[in-house]
Amino acid sequence: MKILACSDVHSPVYYEDFLKSVEKINEKIDLILLAGDMTERDLIEKEIEEYRKIQNVFFGKFFAPIIAVFGNTENLEYRETLKKEISNVKFLDDAYMELKVGEEKVLIYGTSGSLDEPTKWQKIHIPNIQQIYKTRITKAESVLKNYSGTKILLTHYSPTYKTLEGENPLFYQNLGSIEFEKVILETKPNLVIHGHAHYGSKFAWVDKVPVFNVAFPLNKSVVIIDTEKIRPGLQKFV
């Protein structure tokens, strides 16, 4: 299975580079996963316009499901509207879906993710944010541990500190969650994909689980993941 994964295009900021990156791909893609912050924070009309530009980049080039989670720049109050208006993208907001990719049945669990320490802005504007983050972790664990087939965890915030290396360690708790890493260790998803960490590391193993940071500013391109080549011990297989 070949997956095209990306996050943090912050369209229109990196849109042109994102477009050029996709145009260079000349191989069959089975699944497209978008890990949040695909648009910059703006008025709802502008966010819809930018997300339509993002989805249109794939049309006619790939015939693959597009599944996304929301990042922190996609306004909370606009998310239901985005789900309705961007109908060719399946948004998973603390939810999962099962689909058949080729001959393989796959479960994808999607969430914005959690932070060990909410940002100052979040503490002010989302009073119950710490409970929200705890609930997200519990819900993800509940779904993933009860599924025995191929499963992918798709999140915006980093669910491990390992892919935050490169960022300032003082802010790891504001960029990801070591608590979410426990979910990875307990439920053993086949693949984890996240974004958000623009200056982090592109890849890390959490035990034997491969974790990709697909933030566009870090990778300078979309990321192609060939799941057939993922083996513990390999350093690079994209």
Tell me how many domains the chain contains.
Answer: 1
Q: What is the pLDDT of residues 101-133, one digit of tens each?
A: 888 899 999 999 999 999 999 999 888 999 999
CA 148 to chain centre: 22
Question: Looking at the domain assignment, is residue 116 inside a domain?
Answer: yes
Q: Let me know how many helices (H) and strands (E) the chain has, helices first.
A: 7, 11
pLDDT of residue 231: 67
**Residue in 116, 120, 121, 145 with CA at minimum distance from that of residue 133:** 116
Would 237 be classed as within a structural domain? no
Q: What is the mean pLDDT of residues 213-235?
A: 86
Helix, strand or coil for residue 90?
strand
Is the pLDDT at 234 greater than 80, yes or no?
A: no
Average pLDDT over residues 150-172: 97
Domain membership flag for residue 67: yes
For residue 111, give the 3-state DSSP assignment: strand
In a domain, 238, yes or no: no
* Structural domain containing residue 153: 2-229
Instruction: Flag whether 8 is in a domain.
Output: yes
Q: What is the CATH number of the domain that holds 117?
A: 3.60.21.10
